[in-house]
Structure 1
Amino acid sequence: MTSQDSPKLPKAFEQQMASILEADEYSLFKAALLSPSNTSIRINPRKSSPLSADTTPVPWNSQGFFLPQRPKFTFDPLFHAGAYYVQEASSMFIGHILNHLQAPKEGLYLDLCAAPGGKSSLLADYIGEEGMLVANEVIKTRASILKENMIKWGLGNTVVTNNDPSHFEPLEGLFDVVLVDAPCSGEGMFRKDVQAREEWSPENVKLCAARQQRILDQTGALPGPEGYLIYSTCTFNQQENEDMIRFLTEEFAYEPVRIPLNPDWGIVETETDTEWGTFYGYRFFPHMVSGEGLFITVFKRPSDAHVQEPKKMKDFKHILLQRTNKAEKHQLREELKLDETVDFYKLKKSFFALKGFWAKYFELLATTLNVKYFGTELGKFNKGQFIPTHDFAVSILPKNFPKHEASLEAAHSYLKKDELELDISQDGWVLLTYQHLPLGWIKNIGNRINNYYPKEWRIRMKLME
């Protein structure tokens, strides 16, 4: 990094950090902000793909890996296939938390501030096919990015919503785990984000803390008995971290949770005394860990907290969604070879798949929240012929269609939505794969091959030579 690129830290921020860290340690912290950030990815365990030999494991997450340098992810077909997510290493610590808690995989989870989707995909990984995740984003445009990333991840166990935290009030006591990765002043991203440094001020910290209090006040009752609330920020100051522990425990009944650490990880444990006991926080400083700044803490609801158990609705009435009838279910199962654990809903003419045992929960969510996406959109019937969606192609659901393995050059052409010249003997719908992972659909109609990659997702950048 050149002197011109060096971060110009706000004086008030330097004074703040000097009060948190010892003088010699602060100099190391400041030097770390001058060093390049590490690039890390988290692989999708249900879409196995080869890793290069020069990766280094993220110590607190078995699916996380540091890369020796940052590649052009846009030009990697595996990235578009959902084989991995480019995620900052510190935030992968949530996986270690869930494993320690042994949180129920068959539970209902909520990621309240979810975009762009890194932490949501981690939660979705943890619960797998047993649980269901609500991934919520307040900002509409960011909710669209969240939807795209969850579709590419392909697990089909997520409901994407676009709601203010206040809209969740009718769902108090419903969730097993609630993650609040709160909007913050972004101090932990100073090394990567020049704008975060330029926008920082003590006044902005106060505004963020007030926003965080509002969010926690509206979500503190969402976990049910013995459920968990995980609170995190990418900032260092106490106003947005330890003070939030004090605020939440003054407003709601919670018990402390302590997460075991390996001393070699370099994560700093903090203690905050409250009337409910000592609560623990975990700080990630860039001079001590291979990652960006992060603070995270875990709370547990008492066993006598309010619980909500939804009942199956006799008549599911929704302005857009419909349950499928017996004939439609039979037709879908026959056409797509999906087993009896999968249930179906219809939005306009398109069919969606969702695990049947989550139906009563989903219907409660759908009648309470603004649902942007759910499960896996499969496709629709047109004149007796099934037209599959791209979402179905990149999902982990079984697909009873012929496959064609693409070269890197052909995969690039497909992702650019160019015309394709492929030697394919099968007529009709064909699943195009790269390194045996689905990229999407093509259709052989004899004299040409139609490219069905989503137009809005196509690569617009010039491909590398």
Structure 2
Amino acid sequence: MEPFPERFVERMQAWLGPEAAIFLRALAGPYRTGLRVNTLKIRPEAFQACSPFPLSPVPWCPEGFVIEDPEARPGLHPYHAAGLYYLQDPSAMAAAVLLDPQPGEWVLDLAAAPGGKTTHIAARMRNTGVLVANEIQPRRASILALNVERLGVTHAILTNEPPPRLADRWEGLFDRVLVDAPCSGEGMFARDPEAIRAWSVERVRRSAALQKAILSEAARMVRPGGWLLYATCTFAPEENEGVVDAFLKAHPDFELVDPPRHPAFDRGRPEWIEGGDPRLARAVRLWPHRGPGHGHFYALLRRAGEERPHRPGSEDDLPGRARRALEAFWGEIMARPLPEGGLILREDQIYWTPMAPALWRGLRVLRPGWWLGRLRKDRFEPDHALAMALRPEEVLQVLDLPLEDPRVAAYLQGHPLEGPWAEGWVLIALEGFPLGWARAERGRLKNLYPRHLRSIGWWEVETGSGSRGHP
């Protein structure tokens, strides 16, 4: 591992005193992988019972765990492909816990990629209400879309806009807003050498200036009585207490809330900035030497008042040809009702959207909701996103495979599977959890697992004994 910048070490020693030595050792690693169970698909206790990895709980997150085997490769396991979990730093799991989104609410994740906090929020909302996940960088937004899809999120709208443009359209619209702000990334030093090389005091100052601007725009989108959570993965007080202090001075209609505290939640440090408001002690600091995870900073703010904005419901806007094709597929393949109140056609793509299109038209929307499939001439072809949010009992033809079945590896590698099957679409599942689509043709199953997802898996990972098995 690269040595920490000398100035960074000096700053942390000045602030932490004798505690700095143990902090720096913990920050240097070794890194412990966090795993958050996707409760849209499986309960935490049920996953513990079938987990291929030894787990210990994350104390502040009931669905969060730490993988105790440093040699484990959880990102290569079929359970990962099935969306049963998301690999997430334990400190980052505190975001959705503190924001506390409720089913049916309208929530905005303003800087959402790669999707850990977005998918955690979606699970806490139980796939209801409206969740907008925004990411300004197009490449990172594509990763966000893949994770939202894999975890079976249906009520999320993915946007690619700068915060001021969203704030101009969505003033006071959301019950809760998360700002996971771009930062100097000091908490990432253990696993990102580039963060160490890029660090400087000047970068800390530039980050703080950007964070102040983003937080102010985010505040415009919080309804009266709504909640705003500011988060960073850095320790610099300029980017943490300093940003929140400036925000409170400029926004007297917001109050810094003292959230329920776990013993590992340290207080904010107003004494680390000049003239710091004593209320900054209500913020939360997570440290790598006091609990699992790299470390995070959180400040939970609430806007004064209590006013519910007008939110028009989403209505179907599907042309007749597209509706007929979708209904024909649904009647032939599906054993659940067709979604209503939000079916739309976008070019050749059919979506179910949770938000009235009038609210997002004109914005750069990557996905306006749950991508059901495409219209091919007069025929509907289902998308992978549809499969990943279904349950096997909702589809008429299902091939449900146990983990040890060699056809699991064959499917995830893109190979055809043998039949016999009745002609038509088949959902491939792993122990009751969807993996994707296949199509029965002439007695064989044509593999429709997306090509960009076909990669090395657990079946190709060498274990220490030289045999092939679970990572």
- TM-score, length of structure 2 as denominator length: 0.86
Which of 428, 431, 435 lines up with 2:431 in the alignment?
435
Q: Deviations over 1:81-105 (max 9, x none)?
A: 1111000001111233144xxx442
How does 1:39-54 map onto structure 2 within 5 Å? 39-48=33-42, 49=47, 50-52=50-52, 54=54
Deviation at 1:342, TM superposition (A): 5.0
Question: Take 1:209 and 1:380, find their aligned partners in 2: how far apart are those partners?
Answer: 43
Distance change >3 Å, CA 341–CA 31, structure 1 → 2: same
Question: Take 2:57 and 2:155, find their aligned partners in 1: how far apart are those partners?
Answer: 27
User: 2:260: which partner in 1?
Assistant: 260
Q: Percent identity?
A: 30
Q: Point out where structure 2 has 5 or more consecutive residues left out of the alignment.
A: 462-467
Distance change >3 Å, CA 365–CA 383, structure 1 → 2: closer
1:127 is aligned with what amino acid?
M
Q: Deviations over 1:222-253 (max 9, x none)?
A: 10011111001000011000011111112222
Question: Take 1:329 and 1:126, find their aligned partners in 2: how far apart are those partners?
Answer: 32
Three-state SS of the structure 1 residue aligned to 2:114 is: coil
Tell whether the 8 Å contact from 2:425 to 2:437 is kept in structure 1 after alignment. yes
1:19 is aligned with what amino acid?
A
Which of 128, 131, 155 lines up with 1:130 in the alignment?
128
2:10 is aligned with what amino acid?
Q
Question: Take 1:203 and 1:389, find their aligned partners in 2: how far apart are those partners?
Answer: 46
Question: Take 2:31 and 2:60, find their aligned partners in 1: how far apart are those partners?
Answer: 18
Does 1:109 pair with 2:107? Answer: yes
Bigger drift between 209-218 and 441-450 goes to: 441-450
Q: Deviations over 1:326-370 (max 9, x none)?
A: 78557536454425655311112332123xxx443xx24422521
Which of 376, 401, 409 lines up with 2:396 in the alignment?
401
Question: Take 1:112 and 1:383, find their aligned partners in 2: how far apart are those partners?
Answer: 37
RMSD: 2.6
Question: Take 2:279 and 2:4, find their aligned partners in 1: how far apart are those partners?
Answer: 36
Bigger drift between 328-337 and 387-396 goes to: 328-337
Tell whether the 8 Å contact from 1:245 to 1:279 is kept in structure 2 after alignment. no
Which of 441, 448, 451 lines up with 1:452 in the alignment?
448
User: 1:319: which partner in 2?
Assistant: none
Does 1:18 pair with 2:20? Answer: no
Deviation at 1:446, TM superposition (A): 1.2
Distance change >3 Å, CA 160–CA 400, structure 1 → 2: same
Question: Take 1:289 and 1:426, find their aligned partners in 2: how far apart are those partners?
Answer: 54
Bigger drift between 26-35 and 437-446 goes to: 26-35
1:97 is aligned with what amino acid?
L
Distance change >3 Å, CA 312–CA 82, structure 1 → 2: closer
Q: Deviations over 1:16-38 (max 9, x none)?
A: 10122022x11111221333111
Distance change >3 Å, CA 62–CA 118, structure 1 → 2: same
User: 1:324: which partner in 2?
Assistant: 318
User: 2:156: which partner in 1?
Assistant: 158
User: 1:68: which partner in 2?
Assistant: 68
User: 1:184: which partner in 2?
Assistant: 183
Bigger drift between 324-333 and 227-236 goes to: 324-333
Bigger drift between 175-184 and 425-434 goes to: 425-434
2:76 is aligned with what amino acid?
F
Q: Point out where structure 1 has 5 or more consecutive residues left out of the alignment.
A: 317-321
User: 2:78: which partner in 1?
Assistant: 77
- TM-score, length of structure 1 as denominator length: 0.87
Distance change >3 Å, CA 396–CA 248, structure 1 → 2: farther
Question: Take 2:53 and 2:389, find their aligned partners in 1: how far apart are those partners?
Answer: 27
Does 1:197 pair with 2:191? Answer: no
Deviation at 1:297, TM superposition (A): 0.8
How does 1:276-287 map onto structure 2 within 5 Å? 280-287=282-289
